[in-house]
Amino acid sequence: MNQPIGFIGLGNMGFPIAENLLRTGYPLKVFNRTASKASGLVAAGAESVSSAAEVATRGGIVVTMLADDHAIEEVSAGDDSFITRLGAGGMHISMSTISPATARLLAQEHAKYNVAYVAAPVFGRPEAAASRQLSICVSGPADAKKRAVPILAAVSRATFDFGEDAGAANVVKLCGNFLLAAAIEAMAEAFTLAEKNGIDRRLAAEMLTQTLFPCPAYQAYGRRIAENNYEPAGFRLALGLKDISLVLQTAGSSPMPMPLASLLRDRWLAGMAKHRENLDWAAAALGVSEDAGIKIAGSAYAK
Q: What angle do CA 3, 58, 14 make, to 5 degrees?
A: 55
Between CA 87 and CA 70 the distance in angstroms is 22
CB-CB neighbours of 143 under 10 Å: 10
End-to-end CA distance of the chain: 54
Return the half-sphere exposure (C-beta side, CA atoms, 13 A cut-off) of residue 259: 0
CB-CB neighbours of 192 under 10 Å: 21
- Contacts of residue 221, Cβ cutoff 8 Å, sequence gap at least 6: 180, 183, 184, 187, 282
Q: Annotated catalytic, 173?
A: yes
* Bridge partners of residue 103, in order along the sequence: none
Active-site residue, selected from the candidate residues 37, 112, 145, 173: 173
DSSP state of 285: G
Question: Which of 285, 267, 280 lies closest to 192 in space, CA to CA?
Answer: 285
* Bridge partners of residue 165, in order along the sequence: none
DSSP state of 52: G
Between CA 111 and CA 117 the distance in angstroms is 8
Q: In the chain, helix, strand, coil percent, each to 5? A: 55, 15, 35
Question: Which of 13, 58, 54, 53 lies closest to 37 in space, CA to CA?
Answer: 13
- Element (H or E) spanning 224, and its range? helix 216-227
Between CA 70 and CA 68 the distance in angstroms is 6
Residues annotated as part of the active site? 173
